[in-house]
Amino acid sequence: MSTVIPQLPATKWLGYGVDMTACTPLDINSVISAIKRDVQIIETQREQRYSVVDIGGIDYNVPRCVAVAQDVKSSQGTYVTYPSGSDAYSAFQSDGNAAVRYLAISATGTAAMAVRKALSDKNQFAFYSFNNGNYTAGLRNYLDLLNESKLVEAVKALPSPFPRAPSASDINAYKAFFDKFGTHVVINTMYGARFQLAVWADRSNGDVNNNFPRNVAAQFRGIASDGSYDEAVFDEQQYQAFRVLNQFLVSVQGGDPELAKKLTADPMNYELYKEWTATVAANPDIINFTTSELWVLIRDAADRDLATRANDLQDAFEYIMSSHEEVNTLVVFDIDARSDWAEVGLLTPSASISDKVYSAPKVPELVHSPTKIRWLNRLKGTSSGRQIITFGFINDGSPVDFCISLGKGKANIILEGLTFTQSAQGESAWSTKIFYQARVSPVSEISASVRWLNLR
């Protein structure tokens, strides 16, 4: 009886594009959601030669265009805080290993523009990561595998050269291209186990700013600080303000899958975290990507019609990433009568929630900050009826990530005609569902047609 040798897991990422105009490089799941699976830019499946590589006692089929290295040194990330996005970005740029420790994707070259965008100066930041590297898998000698036919067909439809003063139509054409093919291409992956934490908070409250490192250490019950934290912070008024202002991203990759799932859902459980860290040698998963710019790859293309369009793609990417356009997208938060509380959290640090709530709930128990809207029913045991809250997501027009949390019942977010739903039966006090790459309005102003009125 013959045994089928599995493909190396990294081959499902290598050679695919990722749209760096539309992802948050602080979070592995946000990056994964921005990877473009429809077209492989570097077609590894065209490689006819394979070898068998043993990784952790398991044999894998590895294309000859992929190099595997198992002598990986883990780069541990200590708990660090920065008073502003600029300070965080400067630290990442000056320390070449910082991106590997704290980010989900390489931050070199033009990819660093996505990091700078995420690290907004309106926020302060904290980072922590526990890393256990297992192996890396990267492309080699791959230029002959470039998917030139698909790319040249698409670039011919783009305006050329990219205009110095592009119209909305010009910009949208390039955005559509990047949405299909990506702006960068995955050329290297790292597998292992990682607990990755990024926390940010608006800098508008001086007391919160002064206590930000203490607050984060306490909020996560010492996970980022070897189990030590100041419990007195929980009784401080500024900590209550911090809880309203802050937002965080947590991802748990590798190790025992059940423990990783539980820790993702309960990332403030120090004992659970320690239990998971004891399993990190098993079940390596994707923990980091390295990319190359798409335009760098096509400059060496055999098809000159394709190669000559490299500068257009680079110019378009840099223009889009440098845009200071402010788009305000109408959001409808629809909470059913069974719920006793519900929250929407904005998980894209370059975006924010509007200062104004356009329609207030019937029972005005509302927490409102740049990162979250939370409704509470303080009438214990009494239904307050259906609640509809409207507000705006404000950003540069790129997709956003957000979550819906609640204890029981159902809540919907309605965004650009799409409905995102989370429901819970009340088995736990807190149930969260994350939605990635949600489209926002293509225009700068909220439409005068207030469609949410039809929900009443």
The per-residue pLDDT for range 326-367, each reduced to its tens digit, is 999 999 999 998 888 999 999 999 999 999 999 876 655 899
Helical H runs in 188-309?
206-219, 237-245, 257-265, 270-277, 294-298, 304-307
Q: What is the pLDDT of residue 238?
A: 98
Name the residue type at position 157: A
pLDDT above 70: residue 452: no
d(CA 17, CA 184): 5
What are the φ/ψ torsions at residue 431 (nearest 5 degrees)?
Answer: -130, 125
pLDDT above 50: residue 1: no
For residue 56 the two structure tokens come to 């952790």
Helix (H, G, I), strand (E, B) or coil at 44: helix
In 120-245, DSSP assigns E strands to 123-139, 184-202
Q: For residue 36, how many other CB atoms are within 10 A of its CB?
A: 18
Q: What is the pLDDT of residue 2?
A: 53
> Which residues have C-beta within 8 Å of that of residue 355, sequence separation ≥ 6?
none
d(CA 302, CA 394): 43
pLDDT above 80: residue 324: no
First CA to last CA across the chain, in angstroms?
Answer: 64
In 268-399, DSSP assigns E strands to 285-293, 327-335, 341-346, 352-353, 366-368, 372-376, 387-395
Q: What is the mean pLDDT of residues 223-229?
A: 93
CA 144, 147, 149, 152 torsion-angle sign: negative
Asked, as a colleague might, if the bond just before 161 is cis with ω within 30 of 0, I would say yes
Q: What is the pLDDT of residue 78?
A: 87
- Which run of H or E residues covers position 304? helix 304-307
Name the residue type at position 74: S
224, 255 contact by CB (below 8 A): no
399, 327 contact by CB (below 8 A): no
Q: What is the pLDDT of residue 447?
A: 46
The per-residue pLDDT for range 120-148, each reduced to its tens digit, is 999 999 999 999 999 999 999 998 999 99
Q: What is the pLDDT of residue 283?
A: 95
The per-residue pLDDT for range 22-67, each reduced to its tens digit, is 999 999 999 999 999 999 999 999 999 999 999 999 999 999 999 9
Q: What is the mean pLDDT of the chain?
A: 92
Q: What is the pLDDT of residue 75?
A: 62
145, 47 contact by CB (below 8 A): yes
Q: What is the pLDDT of residue 107?
A: 67
The per-residue pLDDT for range 381-400, each reduced to its tens digit, is 666 788 999 999 999 999 99
Helices (H) and strands (E) in the chain, counts: 13, 20
CA 332, 335, 340, 346 torsion-angle sign: negative
The per-residue pLDDT for range 191-223, each reduced to its tens digit, is 999 999 999 999 999 999 999 999 999 999 999
- pTM to 2 decimals? 0.93
